[in-house]
Chains A and B, each alone.
Chain A
Amino acid sequence: MSLRDYEFEMDFCSRCSHCKWIPLLFIKSHRYANVCPAIERFNFHAYSGSGRVIAAHSVHEGRSEITDELLDVIYRCQLDGACNVMCHLSNEILEPLQIIRELRTLAVERGMLLPEHTMIIDSMRKEDNVLGEKKADRGKWAEGLDVKDINSGEAEVFYHAGCRYSYNQDLRGIARTGISLLRGAGVDVGIAGGEEACCGGRAFDIGYRGEMEKYADDFANRLRSSGASTLVTSCSDCYSAFKHLYPMIGKKLDVEIVHITEYLDRLIKEGRIALCKEVPLRVTYHDPCHLGRLGEEYTPWSGEWKTVHGGVIVSDPPKPVHKGLGGVYDPPRDVLKAIPGLQLLEMERNREFSWCCGAGGGVLEAYEDFAAWTAMERIEEARSTGAEALVTACPWCERNFKDAVAANGHGITVYDVVELVQEAAG
């Protein structure tokens, strides 16, 4: 795919700016009505979903070039998908997120690269991870767990930790806890350990499409040979790559794909995990973009647009419109609600129109200050609910929130859902 494939779609932006706000009927305050960090921080229309589509259109038509300034516009965006959802609520033709991705791919093809992003790609090519860590250290997170190695045997459930949980010292415990909870519930689970590799999603997001294709093929082979019928991951980024991005490039995985929060919810409801210990805490839940709106299963479409009734445009066959409705929203909440003593408070921007943590799309690596600003906006919103803790289900969100809290001294604790389950399970 390329921008050429979206020539028809790009004409259908009316510049209504709905991509800048949460759905209007859901607005509760002026303070938390915005949905897109980039336009909120940088203000030029080009930083909105609409503006990015227009910029792509302009570049595609040869009206403008990819300059250094435009490169900043292109990459100061978490690709959180909020604009896509908001647009699709009233526009079935335009595909903002796809077009934004194509513009990134075009930038890479033209050799307009950010050095921080080339480092990510170098790291992936040499060490199979996005963090610049050694491949040899990949499996250290699971040392001493005595869990099945799917490289040498089969398991019913294939657990994928992801780069962040595998390497980040502060967060490794969450992956280990996840495995312990699964095994404690009698789940036949295996891991790839030191042989696990990146999902490739981050490479796709920053415009290096071919890199993800390679990882998708490799992952599909490993999964097939594991004999697993279910793939479980604790990383929302990886979840989105498996569920949303792989089908987008025609590499849909032929197993059930489940986030750890969905699996734990299932186990709790089946009585296989008992939450007996009180956790007296007021918490608010942050929907990771990649688990929520970008965790929706992607359904490819190939068809044509027809004009009927003197100008109305219809898709033939009917085109699936991704509105984020199929994301994972209730399972993590249900898990939290099952914890005795815990009080769950909602932020104004949640579920399909959640505010991003700030880390995605290559922003954390290339524009650290923007990532931190975005996180602080969310932390303020979390504090406004009266919550003592911000709970989420993605290592990228957790890392960014923890760093922002540490840098700014805000008194709110950041947890993963898994950590609270462990505490309640005793």
Chain B
Amino acid sequence: MRLKEEAYRVLESIVGEENISRDPAVLDGYAWQFGCELYGPEDGAYAEKAFAPSAYLEETGDEASLASPRGSRFGFRPVAVVLPADTAEVQAIVKACNRYGIKFKAHSTGWGPWSGCGTAGMVQMDLRRMNRILEINEEDMYAVIEPYVVWSTLQAETMKRGLNCVTIGAGGNCSALASITSFNGIGYNNYSMGLNERNVLGVEWVLPDGEVLRLGSLGSGAGWFSGDGPGPSLRGVMRGEYGAAGGLGVFTRIAAKLYQWGGPTEMPVENIDPAATLLKEFPENCALYYPFFETAEDRDRALWMLGENEVGYSASFMGRGLLAWGLGGSNREASDTVESVAQTFPRYAFILVLVCNSAREFAYQQKVVERILEETGGQNFALIEVPEVRSMVALLLFKGGNKVNIVFQRSGAFFDPGLFTGSRRTFTAAEKLSIDVINKYIEKGLVVDDYGEGSWGSLFDYGHLTACENETMYKSTDPAACGAVIELLEDLDGQMTEHLFRLGHILHQQLTDGPRGKCGHDTMGPLCDGYQVWQRRIKRAFDPNTAADPTMYILPEET
């Protein structure tokens, strides 16, 4: 597939010669994404067949435009990549794509199959040049950022000012803007700061037809401080629970909420090797707990009580499978840990960090925690006293962490088929269901054996909601393992939905079905009040030409 010269030159005139490419190897840098190994030509029709062909695309018969077979991470190759510098350039690109009937897909840090193009023949917009922290407003507690600003740098800058931001479990290497406008994920400090999706304030949004829409207080010229007004509040349309994953245009600037931070302005560490990184000094008026319990019910009761008392900065639970695979530097060391001690790890545990503003507050919070643990039978997990483990866990909770070493290093890939968000009451049952289903696939030897206990998750807003990802690692280069993961995704999605634990695993339905020309929403939607009807109407209203890549959001026509 090739973009005709006229269209290419127009895009070039917008961003300049240095900021556009159609070199095949450069384009493959965008085609390659983890997760793309899950599907391939053998999985059926490609979504491109559902779209009207553009007169500005030439068919070259080049197989490299299409996704590679299962087990390979080369997904769909874009016809060009452009690097816009600002909102005006993004808008001009979007308008050009509409004019030429070309679809576009924007990404920020661009990690995961939802970042790449969902079919052949698209223009990829890499927002890397939009990398500025435009403002940190200490008084009104927000930061105005562009798409390429990552959580780690935003957090470093805000902590210097006695403020802090939400993070995401995927790591500080992820775009803050994309995380809170376009995707769904869990952060370690969601406990005290709410879900990422609730942390977006004013938004500047280039719609799929090229119009610029400003949401919240920004829309009425009142600044960035509010997401819902004065001014238009379209948060539900803009992102809903999962985000549109690029299917509704491009977010060019947003304000992210900031929070008061009682911890230090910096947390000096030593040794870059993650298995040996040590906090030089544990911060004052802060504490780390790793209690374990006899039963899941006791664990949950303790967590809910902590939330009700609003103590703690971060509270997360971590399955012993994930913990065991996360310890040790090399894969061999981790294997040894799993073989020798993992089954002695407590099954029902959580990790908690306190960050307090004063010695007095610290003493109070400690008392509350100790009282709750006493009432629920919580005991200290001795492993946390090992300095390297203590630092690793504390930094994971303080600073958002980096899960890459755990979930990618071991086998090359992971997916979280057991992802669910729900009320407190559903949490324990949903976790158990995911463990049971995942174990069926472990027994077949096609996914990594973590006892099905690769879960981790958090409470939101001190326990109003909970979310859990039960990660499953698999060998990314093994087509049989990739096939098993798809089967597992569909199996668990179906069961989760049947039990009404959540609205099914929509994003992953989209991930596996979208590139195959199917639409997961048409399977899940009828079970969930027919939401897909409204989602499709939104897509059509905002994107009359289907210019924004629909494959990870919703296909314009029912399949």
- Chain A residues with a Cβ under 8 A of chain B: 8, 11-18, 20-21, 23-30, 33, 42-46, 50-51, 54-55, 57-59, 61, 63-67, 69-70, 73, 85, 89-93, 307-315, 318, 321, 323, 325, 351-353
The distance in angstroms between the C-alpha atoms of A321 and B274, with both chains bound, is: 13
* 8 Å CB contact of A24 from B74, B171, B266, B331: B171
- Report yes or no: B412 in contact with A11, Cβ–Cβ below 8 A: yes
Q: Given A67-B23, A315-B332, A325-B273, are A14 and B30 neighbors across the interface (CB < 8 Å)? A: no
Binding site for A on B (CB under 8 A): 18-19, 21, 23-26, 28-30, 32-34, 64, 72-74, 81, 83, 109-111, 126, 128-129, 133, 149-150, 152-154, 156-157, 171-173, 266-267, 269, 272-274, 277, 325, 330-332, 334-335, 338, 395, 399, 402, 404-405, 408-413, 442, 445-449, 473-478, 481
Give complex CA distance A265, B101 in Å.
67
Query: A311 vs B477: C-alpha distance in the bound complex, in angstroms?
Result: 10
A352 to B269, CA, bound (A): 14
Q: Let me know if B73 and A11 touch, CB within 8 A.
A: yes
List chain A residues, Cβ under 8 A from B445: 310
Q: Is the CB of A15 within 8 A of B110?
A: yes
Contacts of B448 in A (CB 8 A): 309-312
For B269, the chain A residues whose CB sits under 8 A away are: 25-26
| B475 & A92 in contact (Cβ 8 Å cutoff) | no
Further pairs besides A63-B74, A92-B331: 18, Cβ < 8 Å? A11-B412, A11-B477, A12-B476, A14-B111, A15-B33, A16-B404, A16-B408, A21-B150, A27-B172, A28-B266, A42-B18, A46-B25, A51-B29, A91-B408, A93-B412, A307-B475, A310-B447, A314-B331
A-B residue pairs, 6 tightest by C-beta: A64-B24, A90-B405, A45-B29, A311-B475, A30-B153, A58-B28
B150 — which chain A residues lie within 8 A by C-beta?
A: 21, 33
Most buried by A among B110, B273, B325, B447: B273
Q: How far is the CA of A50 from the CA of B404 in the complex (A)?
A: 14
Considering the complex, give the chain B residue whose CB is closest to the CB of A85: B272
Distance A64 CA – B473 CA, assembled complex (angstroms): 31
A16 partner residues in chain B, CB cutoff 8 A: 111, 171, 173, 404, 408
Distance A69 CA – B26 CA, assembled complex (angstroms):
9
Q: Given A16-B173, A312-B335, A323-B273 in contact, is the A55-B26 Cβ separation under 8 Å?
A: yes
Task: Decide: A27 near B156, CB < 8 A? Known: A11-B73, A90-B408, A312-B334.
Answer: yes
Q: Which of A24, A307, A325, A351 is B173 in contact with, Cβ under 8 Å?
A: A24
Contacts of B73 in A (CB 8 A): 11, 13, 15
Contacts of B334 in A (CB 8 A): 312
In the complex, chain A residues whose CB is within 8 Å of the CB of B477: 8, 11
Q: Are A311 and B481 in contact (CB under 8 A)?
A: yes
Q: How far is the CA of A321 from the CA of B404 in the complex (A)?
A: 17
Whole-angstrom distance between the Cβ of A26 and the nearest chain B Cβ = 7
Q: Is the CB of B26 within 8 A of A312?
A: no
Q: Is the CB of A44 within 8 A of B272?
A: no
Task: Assess whether A90 is in contact with B409, with CB atoms less than 8 Å apart.
Answer: yes
Which one of A15, A43, A55 contacts B126 once the chains associate, using CB atoms below 8 Å?
Answer: A43
Could you say which residues of chain B place their CB within 8 Å of the CB of A44? 21, 26, 29, 81, 83, 126
Residues of chain A contacted by B409 (CB below 8 angstroms):
90-93
User: Which residue of chain A is the closest to B266 with respect to CB atoms?
Assistant: A28
| CB–CB B32/A17 < 8 A | no
Q: Note all chain B residues with C-beta closer than 8 A to A307.
A: 475
Q: A46-B25, A58-B28 are in contact. Are A90 and B274 (CB under 8 A)?
A: yes
Pair B272/A69 contact, Cβ less than 8 Å: no
The 8 Å CB contact of A58, one of B25, B395, B446, is: B25
Check A25 against B395 for contact (C-beta < 8 Å): yes
CA distance A195 to B129 in the complex (A): 50
Q: Nearest chain A CB to B77's CB is how many angstroms away?
A: 8
Q: Is the CB of B24 within 8 A of A311?
A: no
A24, A61, A73, A309: the one contacting B449 at CB < 8 Å is A309
Q: Which of A18, A27, A93, A309 has the most CB of B within 10 A?
A: A309
Nearest residue, chain B, Cβ from A321: B330
A21-B152 contact given A16-B404, A64-B25, CB 8 Å threshold: yes
CB-CB under 8 A for A55 and B173, given A12-B412, A43-B128: no
Which residues of chain A come closer than 8 Å to B28, judged between CB atoms? Answer: 54-55, 57-58, 63-64
Residues from chain B with Cβ under 8 Å of A51 in the complex: 26, 29
Compute how far the CA of A14 lies from the CA of B171 in the bound complex, rounded to whole angstroms. Answer: 13
Alpha-carbon gap, A34 to B543, bound state (A): 36
Asked if A25 contacts B277 (CB within 8 A), the reply is: yes
Interfacial chain A residues near B153, Cβ < 8 Å: 27, 29-30, 33
Q: Quote the shortest CB–CB distance from B7 to chain A (angstroms).
A: 19
For A319, the closest partner residue in chain B by CB is: B330
Q: How far is the CA of A211 from the CA of B499 in the complex (A)?
A: 67
Q: Choose from A18, A65, A351 the contact partner of B404 (Cβ within 8 Å).
A: A18
CB distance from A373 to the nearest CB of B (A): 13
Q: Given A27-B153, A64-B25, A43–B447 Cβ distance below 8 Å?
A: no
Looking at the assembled complex, report how far the CB atom of A281 sits from the nearest CB atom of chain B, in whole angstroms. Answer: 25
Q: In the complex, which residue of chain B has the Cβ closest to the Cβ of A318?
A: B332
Contact B272 A90 (CB under 8 A): no
A43–B399 touching, CB < 8 Å: no
Closest to B398 in A: A25
Kindly name the residue among A43, A44, A85, A89 whose own CB sees the greatest number of chain B CB atoms within 10 A.
A44
With CB as the reference atom, state the residue of chain B lying closest to A33: B153
Chain A residue at smallest Cβ distance from B19: A43
Which residue of chain A has its CB nearest to the CB of B265?
A: A28
Chain A residues within an 8 Å CB radius of B413: 14
Q: Report whether A312 and B173 are in contact in the complex, using a CB–CB cutoff of 8 Å.
A: no
Is the CB–CB distance between A63 and B24 below 8 Å?
yes
Closest CB in chain B relative to A66 CB, distance in Å = 8
Contacts of A321 in B (CB 8 A): 330
Q: What are the residues of chain B within 8 A of A64 when measuring CB–CB?
A: 23-25, 28, 64
Interchain CA distance A46-B23 in the complex, whole Å: 10
Give min CB distance, A56 to chain B, whole Å: 8
Min Cβ gap B298→A in Å is 30
Q: Could you say which of B19, B28, B269 has the most chain A C-beta atoms within 10 Å of its C-beta?
A: B28
Q: Are A353 and B272 touching (Cβ within 8 A)?
A: yes
Q: Are the C-beta atoms of B411 and A312 separated by less than 8 Å?
A: yes
- Checking B72, B133, B173, B272 against A352 with a beta-carbon cut-off of 8 angstroms, the contacting residue is B272
Cα distance, A25 to B405, chains bound together (Å) = 14
Q: How far is the CA of A46 from the CA of B25 in the complex (A)?
A: 8
CB distance from B543 to the nearest CB of A (A): 26
Across-interface contacts of B149 in A (CB, < 8 A)? 30
30 residue pairs of the A-B complex, CB under 8 angstroms, read A11-B72, A14-B34, A15-B34, A18-B404, A25-B399, A26-B272, A27-B156, A30-B133, A30-B154, A43-B126, A45-B110, A51-B26, A55-B25, A55-B26, A55-B28, A57-B32, A58-B24, A63-B28, A64-B25, A89-B273, A93-B412, A310-B449, A311-B410, A311-B478, A312-B325, A312-B448, A314-B330, A315-B330, A318-B330, A351-B272
Shortest C-beta distance, A167 to chain B (Å), equals 35
Bound-state CA distance A13–B35 (Å) is 12
Asked whether A29 lies within 8 Å of B111 as measured between CB atoms, the reply is no
User: Known contacts A21-B152, A29-B156; is A310 also within 8 Å of B446 by CB?
Assistant: yes
List residues of chain B with CB within 8 A of the CB of A93: 409, 412
Residues in B neighbouring A310, C-beta threshold 8 A? 442, 445-449, 474
Of all chain A residues, the one with the shortest Cβ separation from B131 is A30
- With A and B bound together, what is the CA distance between A232 and B154 in angstroms? 44
Contact residue among B23, B24, B476 (Cβ-Cβ distance under 8 Å from A11): B476
B449 to chain A: which residues have CB within 8 Å? 309-310
Nearest CB in chain B to that of A21: its residue: B173
Q: Which residue of B lies closest to A348 (CB)?
A: B156
Closest to A74 in B: B25
User: With A25-B399, A44-B83, A73-B26 in contact, do A309 and B478 touch (Cβ < 8 Å)?
Assistant: no
A296 to chain B, nearest CB (A): 13
CB neighbours (8 Å) of A70 from chain B are: 23, 25-26
Determine if A17 and B110 form an interchain contact, defined as CB atoms under 8 angstroms apart.
yes
- B411 and A311 form a contact (CB under 8 A): yes
Given contacts A16-B404, A46-B26, A89-B274, contact A313 B173 (CB under 8 A): no
